[in-house]
Structure 1
Amino acid sequence: MKFSLIEAAELDAQHRAAWLALQRANPALQSPYFCPEFTLAAAAVRNDVQIAVLEEAGAIVGFFPFQRGPFGAGRPVGGGLSDYHGVVAAPETGWDVVELLRACGLAYWEFDHLVTEQAAFGDYHARWAVSPALDLSAGFSAYRERRRAAGAGRIVQLERKARKLAREVGPLKFVAHSLERDLLERIFQWKAEQCRRSGVVDFFAQDWTRALVQRIWATNDMHFAGVLSALYAGDQLVAAHMGMRSESVWHWWFPGYDRNFSQYSPGGVLLLKVAEQAALQGLQQLDLGKGDDPYKDSFADCAVPLAEGFAWRPSLGDSVRRLTAGTESLLRGSRVIEPVRPLLRMAKRWSRRQRFA
């Protein structure tokens, strides 16, 4: 197999057509994260995005987009904002991971949302998780009935709260996609406040993360688009969501709501509105993204398996990574952990920040 390294700006019409054909041919790659537009949007706001082109017998058989870090480190395109990553290729395509990393000039590639169907990376998995989703392939009504039959009362509860919100605050209005920049800024504000309350990294504190989301919001192609949705009660904005969609998947990305209306669960009401709209548009799935938020389990009726870990090639980077992982594992099982636990927490926080650097 031949590997060629190109900059995102070199991705021409032929490349993009091949990319889309490969994505459409692989059911595991239907997320908007695998669309070329996501990589191009990231490359427009960062200077470290590159793409490896995989070829066999003169034909393009795959694309591997990544971000290049210091000391031969490789990260997914979009860093901490990436909920899916991997090689864009047909299901039957195989590749050698070490050769791929060597062609990219990477000592290792770290991943935390890798689709598990990519068997080439199987030996490098360290942990597994799932991305919960709503199956809308038979329409919203069929999804709703399946959840009710399964004993999930969350949807009926939210429909009751929606009626109460309309009575006590004002008639509900759902906007599937808004062009109002102030609405997007409100989501940035809500997410920043949420991050401060929960003590996690404010991923919108970086200029490039905001710029990436703004670019996606302004994109509206048949096979990829940003989608900014809102729910109003009377003239009050009660919830909003910034997401994106491919030809078949709407990805639930950055939801937010006015905490003054939390008794009505406006975020959950909005999620149902988005799901209904996604089904009307003929989309097959509303993907909620990896995470252990309780509300995701109450809505999801399917899930996409994902893996975390890092792929390496024999190098100093490999040794450093394995030494770090081994040392932390050893300390976790030792009484020595207590004095250094604050240092480990600091290291973990630093690692999380690096995902958004």
Structure 2
Amino acid sequence: MKVTLVAPRELGTAELERWRALQRSDPALQNPFMSPEFTAGVSRCRPGVRVAVVEEGQDVVAFFPHERTALGIGHPVGSGLTDLQGIIAPPELRLDAPALLEACRLDVWDFDHLIAHQQTFRPYHSVERAEPIIDLSGGFEAYAEVTRRAAPKSYKTVRYKERKLGREVGEVRYVFASADPAALRLLMRWKSEQYRRTGRMDRFARPWIVRLVEHFHRTGFGMLNILYAGDQPIAANFDLRHRTTVAGWFTAYDTRFAQYSPGLIGNLRLAQACAEHGITEIAMGRGGKRFKEQLKSREIRIAEGRVARARLGAGLHWLRTKPVSVARNAALRDPRLYDRADRVLKTYARMRRRFP
């Protein structure tokens, strides 16, 4: 195994063509987070992004995009923002993971949304869970019929609220792939308010994330979709697209219209618009939200874990991250714990606003 470490901008045309060919070898790799555009985009904003080009003989057999931080700690590219992670390789390929880390000058590589069936990292899983998928391969009407049968009351309620929104606020319409930068800024403002309201870290308080989202919007790798009632924007989502697959990313709405469930209306409208534009799959991201269970068609398996070498940096990383990982996984396994943790975060957010 020969490993060459390069910055994403150093990949040539032949390497990028090979990357895309390897993507086609596994349907899971069609996800936008696994595309070279995502890695290259993050590298514009994060200096530690590298790609390990793995060769056997004369052939490139894999690409391993990763991000290196202090003390040799490695993460997936854009860690914290990605809903799918892994190595760009055929699913049956099994590399020596510790040797790969050594070639990348990493003491540890952690993951929390790894494609579970990839053989290279399979021995290092600590937890496996499901990621929901909306399947539009049969068109929107086929998907809607399956959803109606699976959750008839929920589907009927969403459609009723959509009609009510149209009557009381204005005609409901959906704009697919908007190029309006002002609408993107509005989405980010709504999302920041949601993060603060629920006690989560405000991702858009980090300038590099704002720059990344704006870059993807300008280049068309990211899609901004907006739900309107009359001339009033009600909800929006910013997603990534690679060929016929969309990965959900940021969704938010105007809380003044919360009674109409604009997020759910927007999700169904998104599915309809995607089907009309040749998209066959929407990856919804790791579970934890009940509405995803109502809308999903199927699931893929993802894993959390770490590969570590016997180094000081790996030990320090374990001490810092293990307690948080255990607590998060307990909440994700038990809906009651998840709801309790959600309420605690919201209470904390209210107290922080009241006593800044």
What is the match of residue 39 of structure 1?
39
Q: Match for 1:300: what amino acid?
A: K
**Partner residue in 2 for 1:66:** 66
Deviation at 1:314, TM superposition (A): 2.3
Taking the aligned partners of 1:74 and 1:325, their CA distance within structure 2 comes to 13
Structure 1 distance, partners of 2:320, 2:41, is: 33
Alignment gaps of 5+ in structure 2? 328-343, 345-356
SS of match in other structure, 1:45: coil
User: Residues 267 and 91 from structure 1, CA distance in 2 versus in 1: closer, same or farther, beyond 3 angstroms?
Assistant: same
Show the counterpart of 2:142: 142
SS in structure 1 of the partner of residue 219 of structure 2: coil
Matched, 1:57 2:57: yes
Aligned length: 328
Match of 2:290 among 294, 311, 321: 294
> What is the 5 A alignment of 1:134-213?
134-213=134-213
User: What does residue range 326-341 of structure 1 map to in structure 2 within 5 Å?
Assistant: none
Cα deviation code 1:97-147 (max 9, x no counterpart): 011100000000011111101122122111222211211111111111112
1:141 to 1:312, Cα distance in 2 relative to 1, 3 A: same
Distance in 1 (alpha carbons) for counterparts of 2:174 and 2:103: 48
The alpha-carbon distance between structure 1 residues 84 and 327, as it changes in their structure 2 partners (threshold 3 A), is closer
Is 2:82 the partner of 1:82? yes
Superimposed CA distance per residue, residues 153-199 of structure 1 (whole angstroms, 9 cap, x where no aligned partner): 32222111111111111111210011111111111111111111111
Q: CA deviation at 1:201?
A: 0.9
Distance 1:315 1:143, change over 3 A: same
Does structure 1 retain, via aligned residues, the 8 Å contact 2:125–2:303?
A: yes
Secondary structure of 1:80 counterpart: coil
CA gap 1:77/1:160 in 2 versus in 1, 3 angstroms: same
Q: Please say if residues 52 and 104 of structure 2, whose CA atoms lie closer than 8 Å, have aligned partners that are also in contact.
A: yes
Structure 2 CA distance for aligned equivalents of residues 330 and 183 of structure 1: 38
Q: Does 1:269 pair with 2:275?
A: no
1:233 matched to 2:226: no
CA contact (8 A) 1:28 1:117 kept: no
Cα distance, 1:10 vs. partner?
Answer: 0.3
Distance in 1, matches of 2:47 and 2:159, equals 46
What TM-score comes out, normalization by structure 1 length?
Answer: 0.88
Report the Cα distance in structure 1 between the residues aligned to 2:92 and 2:322, rounded to whole angstroms. 34
Instruction: Check whether the contact 2:150–2:294 (CA below 8 A) recurs between aligned residues.
Output: no
Aligned to 1:160, the other structure's residue is in SS state helix
Q: Is the contact between residue 34 and residue 88 of structure 1 (CA under 8 Å) also seen in structure 2?
A: yes
What SS does structure 2 have at the residue aligned with 1:90? coil
User: Aligned partner of 2:293: which letter?
Assistant: D
Greater CA drift, 273-282 or 40-49: 273-282
Could you tell me which amino acid in structure 1 is paired with residue 254 of structure 2? D
> For residue 278 of structure 1, what is the aligned residue in structure 2?
274
Give me the whole-angstrom Cα distance separating, in 2, the residues matched to 1:24 and 1:321: 34
Q: How far off is 1:326 after superposition?
A: 7.4
C-alpha RMSD over aligned residues = 2.0
Shift of 1:248: 2.3
Identity %: 39
Task: Please name the residue that 1:10 is paired with.
Answer: 10
After superposition, the Cα gap between the structure-2 partners of 1:179 and 1:58, relative to the gap in structure 1 and judged at 3 Å, is same
Cα deviation, 1:234-258, whole Å, max 9, x if unaligned, reads: 1111111111111121111111111
In structure 2, what is the Cα distance between the partners aligned to 1:209 and 1:139? 33
The structural deviation recorded for 1:325 is 6.8
1:129 pairs with 2:125: no
Q: CA deviation at 1:2?
A: 1.1
Matching of residue 306 in structure 1 with residue 337 in structure 2: no
Distance 2:167 2:325 in 1: 55
Mapped to 2, the partners of 1:208 and 1:14 lie a distance apart of: 30
CA contact (8 A) 2:248 2:284 kept: yes
Deviation track 1:55-91 (CA, whole Å, cap 9, x = no partner) reads 1121111111111110010011112111111100112
SS in 1 for 2:121: helix
Is contact 1:30-1:249 (8 Å) kept? yes
Structure 1 unaligned regions, length at least 5: 332-344, 346-357
Q: Residue 70 of structure 2 aligns to which amino acid in structure 1?
A: P
Q: Which amino acid aligns with 2:13?
A: A
Tell me how far apart the structure 2 counterparts of residues 97 and 251 of structure 1 sit (CA, whole Å). 27
Over 3 Å counting, the alpha-carbon distance change for 1:38 and 1:323 in structure 2 is closer
Looking at structure 2, the residues matched to 288 and 153 of structure 1 have their Cα atoms a distance apart, in angstroms, of 21
Structure 1: which amino acid aligns with 2:185? E
Letter in 2 for 1:136: L
Q: 8 Å contact 1:23–1:88 — kept in the other structure?
A: yes
Matching residue's letter, 1:132: P
Counterpart CA distance in 1 for 2:321 and 2:262 is 41
Q: Distance in 2 between matches of 1:299 and 1:55?
A: 41
SS in structure 2 opposite 1:176? strand
